[in-house]
Amino acid sequence: MDYKKSNAPTSTITRDLREIEKETGNIYESLVAISKRANQISVEVKEELSRKLEEFASYTDNLEEVFENREQIEISRFYERLPKPSSIAIEEFIEGKVYHRLADEEPKSLAKE
């Protein structure tokens, strides 16, 4: 997924808990699903950033040689301005883009058939 085009807020906003619990019927189940999705997003974004910054890595042992690369700084700033993974996960959950189920039950789409 392209997190750069996410419509998640970059700052803190107040959420209606009834809207979050509507999908599962239980606020705690909803929060577990959201937190697991936020962890997935965080790992994906971190891996993407690491791949981009690895292009600029220098493998010298000399501490005196510190290079400031303008492109590296811009990439880092861009990722700092992205919405937090938890905000993206909440937005995805509310929009119905997150698939979730309890470990001991069948998926909801299969149970109806």
pTM: 0.73
Distances (CA, A) of 98 to 1, 38, 40, 43: 12, 11, 12, 16
pLDDT tens per residue across span 9-48: 777 788 888 888 888 888 999 999 999 999 999 999 999 8
pLDDT tens per residue across span 79-91: 888 888 999 999 8
